[in-house]
Chain A
Amino acid sequence: MNRVVNVARMQLINKWTYLGIPAIILASAFLITYAIWALVPSGGGAMYSGAAQSVMWYFLALGIMSMTQTFPFSQAMSVSRRTFYIGTLGLFAVVALAISVLYYVLGLIEKATGGWGVNGQLYALGWLADQPALVQIYFYFIAMVALFMIGFWFATIYKRWQATGMLVVWIAVAVVLLGLVALATWQGLWPEVGAWFVAQTPLSVSGWATVFCAALACGSYLTLRRATP
């Protein structure tokens, strides 16, 4: 157990990776967006921005990095694969939860200040902002975990089977997606598909994402168990 905590502590030795860089991305995304809003005159309507997502994409990169760089190092530190896995995912979950709460709080501030005084929408996105606090936080959290897991899982595949593995996975993903599209087209299911997407709520999307994350978490653990540094 102690070693699991140490795996997390090890990744915090360099404060920049998990704390500094996300903070900078968060701050600069806000400032740049705000500057654009200030410069570009709006027609009086609400202004949207997807800039808040940028931190989430950074976690995709983090997922890849922790597998390609931190895993080989953890092996040199005589850490078992299981311990590395639990420690890394645990640390990530804590950081993701903290950022989710921060997003929620920023969303509250955004609403209270009338969109930062310029009627902007950066955090309190219309579709989500009316939901209960827990749903909002859960949504952010699971979105970040999903991105991290995608990065982590792809990197495990790469670690274990190199370029061949990546190629096979990409082809498999493409085949499945194309198959679904073909199926929908052939069966004339597009109206139903569209209706299904429209019917989704933040909570149901989060639910699907949780299933997806759980599948990736199992998949990457099983792949990691036989990966070599």
Chain B
Amino acid sequence: MTGTATPEVISVRNVSKKYKDSLALDNVDLTLEGGKIYGLLGRNGAGKTTLMSVLTAQGFQTSGEVRVFGHRPYESDRVLGRICFIRESQKYPDDFTPAQAFKAASMFFAGWDQAFADRMVEEFQLPAKRRIKKLSRGQLSAVGVIIGLASRAEITFFDEPYLGLDAVARQIFYDRLVQDFAEHPRTIVLSSHLIDEVANLLEHVILIDKGRILVDEDAESIRGSAVTVVGPAALVGEFTAGRSVLHRETFASLASVTIDARLSARERAEAGELGLELAPVTLQQLIVRKTMAATGTDLSVGERDSDAELEATK
């Protein structure tokens, strides 16, 4: 069973990371509790990998304080040994095979489950005896996924773990993640821009954009927290007046307006009587709208496919 006591495992205070000409992390404040699956969402280059690097002491912040299990993770083998972070662009020794990488992982992660790793090698149809540098992008991702899951580290970071994986392999990953997490509760941070695919797996959502945290909320309280109202423009305008509008589209005399509000049963009935249609907003759409509202790129008219921008480039 999960959802029991959840003490704080990571705390981030005023962390900024400056590169020569850009701010990759902008005064980030976060607290992560143990035993949850976190979704770290955001566009490419939003700061997801930078944040995870800083949390695992693989990278360095310019200012601010990071604590993992109450200690600074930098150069602390005691803290690091309880963490696993395989980068999206993880490098392996040139002459290593996946089987050898797993053998190395078994030396460093106390909770390593070799039988579990072997099962996943079969499921992903990974050629474990082929050199890693000869693997395809998808097979390379599978190596990272297997190390991440089989390490059973108390905090495991997955950095866009599905790159190059086909739909079947991604489903295997999600299924194994849910199943293994249920049996061995721990903290998972899943960085992704394929939000629809992972939405239901998440307990908590962190949305980062241009190095700033836009959303840091329980996934369930986000779900259904916005709604799209569709109908004749005048009526839609009347119904949504005075509400926080995330997105507005018009087409001929019709309008489709997404509002940041959870409607009561009475309000839903009222919309029905006015002949307005209410459409649910997926987590992905909501994230896209919030990102755009924050950047000020949206609130324009007639951008039908704007939500594809966050994700569909892959």
Verify whether A and B have any Cβ pair under 8 Å.
yes
A residues with CB within 8 A of B:
3, 6, 9-11, 13-14, 16-17, 65, 68-70, 72-73, 75-83, 225-226, 228-229
Assuming the contacts A3-B108, A77-B108, A80-B75, asked whether A13 and B80 have C-beta atoms less than 8 A apart, the reply is no
* B35–chain A nearest beta-carbon distance, Å: 20
Contact with A along B116-154 (1 / 0, CB 8 A): 000000000000000000000000000000010000010
Tell me which of B76, B96, B101, B147 contacts A80 (CB under 8 A).
B76
Cβ contact within 8 Å between A78 and B94: no
The answer to whether the Cβ of B286 comes within 8 Å of any Cβ in the partner chain is no
Residues on A with beta carbons closer than 8 Å to the beta carbon of B107: 6, 9-10, 77
A6 to B86, alpha carbons, bound, how many Å?
Answer: 19
Cβ contact within 8 Å between A69 and B59: no
A225 to B77, alpha carbons, bound, how many Å?
Answer: 14
Cβ contact within 8 Å between A78 and B108: yes
Contact with A along B75-96 (1 / 0, CB 8 A): 1110011111111001111111
Cβ contact within 8 Å between A3 and B95: no
Residues on A with beta carbons closer than 8 Å to the beta carbon of B76: 80
Cβ contact within 8 Å between A73 and B60: no
Q: Is the interface of A mostly helix, strand, loop or mixed?
A: helix
Residue of B with least CB distance to A70: B93
Residues on A with beta carbons closer than 8 Å to the beta carbon of B105: 77
| Interface band, chain B | 35 or more
A-B residue pairs, 6 tightest by C-beta: A72-B91, A78-B80, A77-B108, A6-B107, A69-B93, A10-B104
Tell me which of A9, A14, A226 contacts B96 (CB under 8 A).
A14
Cβ contact within 8 Å between A78 and B53: no
Tell me which of B81, B82, B87, B100 contacts A76 (CB under 8 A).
B87
* A111–chain B nearest beta-carbon distance, Å: 37
Cβ contact within 8 Å between B96 and A13: yes
Residue of B with least CB distance to A225: B75
Residue of A with least CB distance to B132: A73
Residue of B with least CB distance to A5: B107
Residues on A with beta carbons closer than 8 Å to the beta carbon of B94: 65, 69
Residues on B with beta carbons closer than 8 Å to the beta carbon of A81: 75
* Chain B 139-180 residues near chain A, CB threshold 8 A: 147, 153
